[in-house]
Every structure is written in structure tokens, then in C-alpha cells.
Amino acid sequence: MEKVSAKLTDEEYEKSMSTTLSTRMAAVKMSPTTALFGKVEELRRKGEDIVSLNVGEPDFPTPDNIKEAGIRAINENFTKYTTGNGIAPLREAIIEKMKKDNGVTYEMNEVAVTVGAKQALFGALCAVAGEGDEVIIPIPCYVSYPDMVALAGAKPVLVKRKDDFSLDLEAIESAINEHTKAVIICTPDNPTGKVYGEDELKGLSDLAISRDIFVISDEIYEKIIYGENRHKSISAFEGMKDRTIVVNGFSKTYSMTGWRLGYVCGRADVIGAAVKVQSQTTTTPPSISQYAAVEALCGPQDSVELMRSEFEKRRDFVQEKLRGIPGVICHEIQGAFYAFFDIRAFLGKEYEGYGIIDDDTRLCEYLLEKYGVAMMPGSAYFAPGFVRISFASSMEVLKKALSRIESGLKAHKC
Ligand SMILES: Cc1ncc(COP(=O)(O)O)c(C=O)c1O
């Protein structure tokens, strides 16, 4: 096919291509996790031995009973579009689960199945926030929240959490104004591993009620929780069911990241709007995955506990090792599978071949290039001076990684 540009001078061609991206895109960045993934792949292609602690997905296979349900769905030809909000048996199973785990009863039109928890979050945000609206995000936070808010057309308002990563309710209250539509929380939390206690959740629910805003509660790590810590959904407090948009999914609890399935529960009009967004973008969640997910929720749950207890052993190991490195501060990891530790004591120091390293991003680059360990800089989560590692890797890999981190951190000159 002849190129139209063939008849144009360079200058005319440049002009003809001056159409620009939308202004909304200027407020959205590529996920830093994806960017680091590319760099790790490049180093591996060059033959480098890289230990990768940057990826946020369980290393276990999807449990067999769930895989078999997926295979059955294919063989029985459940391979077509489904209803936009998900198949009825799955929404019924979600309702049962929410009743049992959270103590909250939903109707069928208050639940929608989505393409991963990410689509649930995006649909929920589009449903409640747009041009001129603000959404409060306590930081450190999951990398995607601010960009999703911006994609929805609203303004993300970042509010620092306390030093122990609990919610700073006073700071949240002062950030609320007439434009505020919602606060997003995540418990158990990515990246900090914090599980919010009942008191702070009650405090936030009082605030949401008195200031008339929504809470978007990302509970995707609810089953990956350690020691005495217990998950409490903010939706269970009095007056909060209709004010909370609960986001959850199958990726973490059932090691189903690639099946792309999540769900969202809340007020019927909010869920209806989130489904509209889904219907105009991805049409429906994947049919095969939905049949597999019915088995995930209704079948035996022993694999969930097996994975959780394995994560707990790794948590104990990683936490102890990090705390054993003088200068590293690592708070108790209460849930999820990340350690988020303070490395400020290692900044402003000289490292061979790197000069003085002043920030967490450069420190992570140094540890990747020189010690072959890939970690996420805290800046990606709006917490400079911190580093996040995922312990969704075997004990063998973690032992190697921790010893590399320790050597790399200790190798400064002064
Ligand atoms: C806090 C949090 N929410 C949502 C997601 C997205 O999950 P899904 O794979 O279900 O889209 C992730 C994935 O890393 C996450 O960490």
C-alpha cells in the first residue's frame, strides 16, 4: 500500500502527524513494576543471574480442583460471552462468601464479576469519581491507584500514613473537601503488609459517614494474613454497607493471576455503573475463568491455608533476616507477601562504581546491576527511602536474595 506520506515533504509529514495524545494520558504513567520487569528480562538475556523479588504474584500453581473446573468448562463449551456482571452461580457464591467472611449480605444486583480486581477498581472509580472530583489515597499505596483515579478523570489526593503505616485519620479528615468522593484503602496492604485494626477502620467509617463519602476497600489479600492479625472489612460497620465498595479477586488467594478474575460489591447503582464501564470496554469477564472461580469459592479450601502457611514461613525468614541487617528498619509484616523496609540509613553513602547514592531508586539499580537482585524502590509507592520485596518465591531463592541484599547494603565505603 502506498504511504500517504510519500507525497509529502518532511516538514509537511511532521505537520500531518501532529495529532496529540489526550491530556488525560499526561497524568498517567506506565506501571513501574512493568518497566522493571523489562529491565530484568534484558539482564537475563545477557546471561546475568538475576534474583527477582519485584513480582507480586504467588509462585504456586493454581490448585488442581480449580484447573479441572476450567478444563470442564472448556469441554462443556462454556466458552462464550456471559452476562456483563458475571454468571449467576458465581455471583451467588460471592454472596455466600461475603456473608460468611464479612458478615454482610448482598443482593444479586449488588455484586459484579470483573476482569481482575483491577477492572473492579477502575469500574468503581469511574462509577463514583470524574472531572472535578477528588479521591483520597493514603500513601504508601498500590502503584495503580493514583493512575486509575487520573484515568477516571478525577484528582488523586495523596495523604501520608503514620510511620507504622496505620491510617492518619486526622490527615485524611483535613484532606476532605466538597470535591472529595472517596478514600481508597487496602487491607492487608500492598506494599506495606499492614493490616488495619478495627479501631482505625471504625474511625474511618465514622469519617466516611459524617463527611458523606465512599470507601473503596481493596481486600484482595484478605486470606494472606499472619499470626494474630485478623481481616475486618470496613463494609461490616453499621451504616457502611452502601458506602463501601469492596474490591476482591481470585489472583492472590487462589493463585489465579492469569485467569483475570475479580469482583466488586456495593450499592446497586454503583455496581450497575461499574458494569457499564466493563460492558463498554471488555464486554464480560472470561467465561472459563468464571466456572473455575465457582469451584475456587465452593470447593475445598485447604490449598488456601497451605499457601498461606508457606507464605508465613517465608515472612518469618525474610523479616528476621532484614531486621538482622544493622540500619534496616522492617515493621511487622502482618499480611500480603511483601516486605517494605526502610533503607534511609544506606543513603548518602558511597558505593564502588556508583559514587554517592542518594535515593532508593538508584540504590535498587545498584543492587540489581551489581548484586543481581531486583526489588521495587519505595518511590514507586510514594515512599522514598524504602524498598519493597515480594516473598512469593521459594525459600531457596529468598535465602540467596537476602544474602545478596545484605552484602550489597554493607558494601558502602563510609
Ligand atoms: C492491592 C492490589 N489490588 C489489586 C491488584 C490487581 O489484582 P488482579 O490481578 O485481580 O487484577 C493487585 C495486584 O497486584 C494488588 O496488589
CATH of the domain at 75: 3.40.640.10
368 and 236 within one domain: no
Asked whether residue 2 is domain-assigned, the answer is no
Last residue of a domain, one of 245, 269, 298: 298
Last residue of a domain, one of 264, 298, 332: 298
Asked whether residue 7 is domain-assigned, the answer is no
204 and 122 within one domain: yes
Structural domains counted in the chain? 2
In the chain, what's the furthest Cα-to-Cα distance? 72
C-alpha triplet 335, 396, 65: angle, nearest 5°: 60
Asked whether residue 6 is domain-assigned, the answer is no
Residue-range definition of the domain harbouring residue 213? 65-298
Ligand 1 pocket test target in 57, 184, 252, 255 with most atoms within 8 Å of CB: 252
| pLDDT value for 230 | 96
In sequence order, what are the residues at sequence separation of 6 or more whose Cβ sits closer than 8 angstroms to the Cβ of residue 395? 313, 314, 317
| pLDDT value for 300 | 97
CA 147 – CA 141 distance, rounded (Å): 11
Asked whether residue 15 is domain-assigned, the answer is no
Does residue 187 contact residue 217 with C-beta atoms inside 8 Å? Answer: yes
240 and 180 within one domain: yes
Identify the H or E element spanning 371. helix 360-371
Asked whether residue 169 is domain-assigned, the answer is yes
Determine the average pLDDT of the residues in 208-223.
98
Which of 383, 363, 357 has the alpha carbon at shortest distance from 375?
A: 363
pLDDT per residue as tens digits for the range 382-399: 999 999 999 999 999 999
* Binding pocket residue ranges, ligand 1, CB within 6 Å: 56, 116-118, 142, 186, 190, 218, 220, 249, 251, 257, 262
276 and 237 within one domain: yes
Identify the H or E element spanning 127. helix 116-128
- Distance from the alpha carbon of residue 246 to the mean position of ligand 1, in angstroms: 13
Determine the average pLDDT of the residues in 318-344.
97
- Distance from the alpha carbon of residue 247 to the mean position of ligand 1, in angstroms: 10
Q: Which three cell numbers stand for residue 208?
A: 466516611
Asked whether residue 13 is domain-assigned, the answer is no
Determine the average pLDDT of the residues in 377-385.
96
Burial class (CB in 10 A: 0-12, 13-18, 19+), 378: buried
94 and 53 within one domain: no
269 and 133 within one domain: yes
CATH of the domain at 56: 3.90.1150.10
Half-sphere exposure of 13 (CA within 13 A, CB side): 8
Asked whether residue 10 is domain-assigned, the answer is no
308 and 286 within one domain: no
279 and 187 within one domain: yes
pLDDT per residue as tens digits for the range 148-196: 999 999 999 999 999 999 999 999 999 999 999 999 999 999 999 999 9
- Distance from the alpha carbon of residue 118 to the mean position of ligand 1, in angstroms: 6
pLDDT per residue as tens digits for the range 254-273: 999 999 999 999 999 999 99
| pLDDT value for 36 | 79
Asked whether residue 102 is domain-assigned, the answer is yes
Identify the H or E element spanning 158. strand 155-160
Last residue of a domain, one of 298, 318, 335: 298
CA 228 – CA 309 distance, rounded (Å): 13
